[in-house]
A and B are shown apart, each in its own frame.
Chain A
C-alpha cells in the first residue's frame, strides 16, 4: 500500500486544458464570422469559361512535346545476353529503379519497345536473333551497347564464336563500358539516350532504310 503524500492533490486544472480567456476569444471570433459572412462567396470559376481560351493555351512545338513524352517513357526490350543482364536487372528493381525515368516496363516483345539494351556477349549464333529483334522494333528506336563484350567483343574478341562488337550487327547509339558496368554507369548511358531523344529532329531520316530502300523519284 502506498502512503498518501500530502500536497499531491490537484488544486487547479492542468495546463493541457485551454484557459477561460482563450475560450471567450474563440467564441467572439465565431460570432464575428456568423454575423459578417451571411452571403456565400462567388466561385472562382472563370477558368471554366470556354471563350476565355487565352488562359488555357501553352505554346510549344510538336517536336518538343513528342520528344519530351518519348524520353520519359522509353521502354527497353528485355534483352539480357550474359552477366551484364544482372546489372541491368538491378537497375530495373527497387534499389536503382528505372521507373523514375518511366521505363520500368522491360518489354518481352520488341514491337512494344523503343530501346534495345544489348547486355552481354553477342555470339555469332545469337547475331541473327539480335538483328531480327532490332528489325521488329518500331521506329524510332535506339540501341545501347552495355559492357565491353557488346562494345568490342571484350576479352572474347579473338574468339571463334563471338561478334567483335554488336555494331557489326546493329547501329549503336550509346556505349556503356565496364565489365560489367555499374548500374549508375548504365543509368548515365540511359540519360545520354534521353539527351539524344530530345535532340532528335522530325526531319531526320530513318537510321535504317526500310526493306527495299526508300523510293527515289
Chain B
C-alpha cells in the first residue's frame, strides 16, 4: 500500500531547501506558491523523496481562486503526496507548466486549459484537447452558463 506522506513533514524539508515556497501545509496536502511551483516540482523529483511519477493533475474552481492539484507518487519509495497551488487571477489565470518536470502533465494540462481556462506557462503545445477550436468559454468554471 502506498504511504501518503504528511504535507507538514515535506513542508519542513522544503522550507529548508527553498525558503518562502510553502504557503501552508497540513496532514493531507502541501500548498505552495504559484510562482515557484515548478522549482518545487523539480525539488520533489530530485530530492530524497524521489517523486518520479505524476499520477494525476486536476483543478478546482473555488470562485475566489483556482486551485491546481498534483497527485505525486514515488515508485521507488512507494509513497505519495498531494501538491497544490492557487491562482487568484480570474481573467487570465496562469500557472507554470509541469511538463518539463513530468512529461505526463502535458495532456492533463491541456485538459485543464481546455475546461477550466488556466494557461500553463512553458507548455510545449497548449491548445484545446476535448473541445474544438472556437468553443466559447470554459465549461468546468463555476460561472459557465
Contacts and interface: CB of A to CB of B under 8 A. Distances in A.
Is chain A's interface secondary structure helix, strand, loop, or mixed overall? loop
A124 interface: yes
Interface residues of B, number: 7
Interface string B17-43: 000000000000000000000000000
A161 B114 CA distance: 13
B130 interface: yes
A161 B140 CA distance: 12
A111 to B, nearest CB: 27
Nearest to A159: B139
A124 B139 contact: no
Nearest to A161: B131
A159 to B, nearest CB: 8
A160 B137 CA distance: 10
**A: contact size bracket:** under 10
Nearest to A125: B132
Contacts of B132: 124-125
Contacts of B130: 125, 161
Nearest to A127: B132
Interface in B92-133: 130-132
Interface string B39-57: 0000000000000000000
Contacts of B144: 160
A92 to B, nearest CB: 29
Interface in B37-84: none
Contacts of A125: 130-132
B139 to A, nearest CB: 5
A144 to B, nearest CB: 27
A11 to B, nearest CB: 81
Nearest to B139: A160
A160 B132 CA distance: 11
A5 to B, nearest CB: 74
A203 B29 CA distance: 71
Contacts of B131: 125, 160-161
A165 to B, nearest CB: 19
A194 B144 CA distance: 45
A161 B137 CA distance: 12
A170 B130 CA distance: 22
Contacts of B139: 160-161
A177 to B, nearest CB: 27
Contacts of B145: 160
B91 to A, nearest CB: 21
A125 B144 CA distance: 19
A124 B132 CA distance: 8
A139 B130 CA distance: 33
B11 to A, nearest CB: 39
Interface string A158-195: 00110000000000000000000000000000000000
Nearest to B145: A160
Contacts of B135: 160
B114 to A, nearest CB: 11
A125 B135 CA distance: 11
Given A124-B132, A125-B130, A125-B131, 9 more contacts: A125-B132, A160-B131, A160-B135, A160-B139, A160-B144, A160-B145, A161-B130, A161-B131, A161-B139
3 tightest CB-CB pairs across the interface, nearest first? Answer: A160-B139, A125-B132, A161-B131
12 contacts: A124-B132, A125-B130, A125-B131, A125-B132, A160-B131, A160-B135, A160-B139, A160-B144, A160-B145, A161-B130, A161-B131, A161-B139
